[in-house]
Amino acid sequence: MSKAARFDYGWVVVGAGALMTCVGFGTMLSLAVFLQPISNAMGWSRAGISAAATLDFLCMGFAAFAWGALSDRFGTRIVVLAGSVLLGLGLVTASQAQSLWQFQLCFGVLIGIAAGSFYAPMMALASAWIDKHRSLAVALVSAGMGVSPLTVAPAASWLITAYDWRFAMFVIGIAAWVLLIPASFLVRPAPKGTEIANATAASAPQMEWTVAQALRTPQFITLALAHFACCAAHSGPIFHMVSYAMVCGIAPLTAVTVYSLAGFSGLGGRLLLGVLADRLGAKPVLVGGLLVQALSIATYLAVAQLGEFYALSVVFGLAYGGVMPLYAVLVREFFGARIMGTVFGAVSAFASLGMALGPWAGGYVFDTFHGYTWLHAGSFAIGLAAVAVALSFSTKRQPSLDLGPATA
Residue ending a domain, choose from 179, 201, 223 = 201
Q: Are residues 286 and 318 in the same domain?
A: yes
Greatest extent of the chain over all pairs of C-alpha atoms, in Å: 64
Q: Are residues 83 and 158 in the same domain?
A: yes
Q: Are residues 255 and 340 in the same domain?
A: yes
Cα dist from 237 to 147, 290, 370, whole Å:
19, 15, 15
Q: Are residues 352 and 374 in the same domain?
A: yes
Residue ending a domain, choose from 138, 171, 201 = 201
Q: How much is the pLDDT for 384?
A: 97
pTM, full prediction: 0.75
Residue ending a domain, choose from 178, 201, 224 = 201
Q: Are residues 218 and 129 in the same domain?
A: no
Cα dist from 401 to 90, 215, 275, 396, whole Å:
46, 15, 36, 15
Classify each residue of 332-354 as buried b or exposed e, where b means 16 or more C-beta atoms within 10 Å of its C-beta.
Answer: bbbbbbbbbbbbbbbbbbbbbbb
Q: Are residues 299 and 180 in the same domain?
A: no
* Backbone conformation region of residue 336, classed left if phi is above 0, alpha if psi is from -120 to 50, else beta: left
Number of domains in the chain: 2
Q: How much is the pLDDT for 201?
A: 44
Which residue positions in the chain have pLDDT lower than 70? 1-8, 46, 146, 148-149, 192-208, 252, 395-408
- Structural domain boundaries enclosing 294: 206-396
Q: Which one-letter DSSP state was computed for residue 392?
A: T
User: Using alpha carbons only, how large is the chain's radius of gyration in Å?
Assistant: 21
Q: Are residues 178 and 249 in the same domain?
A: no
Q: Is residue 253 part of a domain?
A: yes
Q: Which three-class secondary structure state does DSSP give residue 190?
A: coil
Q: Is residue 210 part of a domain?
A: yes
Q: How much is the pLDDT for 113?
A: 93
Q: How much is the pLDDT for 70?
A: 87
Q: Is residue 335 part of a domain?
A: yes
Separation of alpha carbons 152 and 28, rounded Å: 9
CATH of the domain at 117: 1.20.1250.20
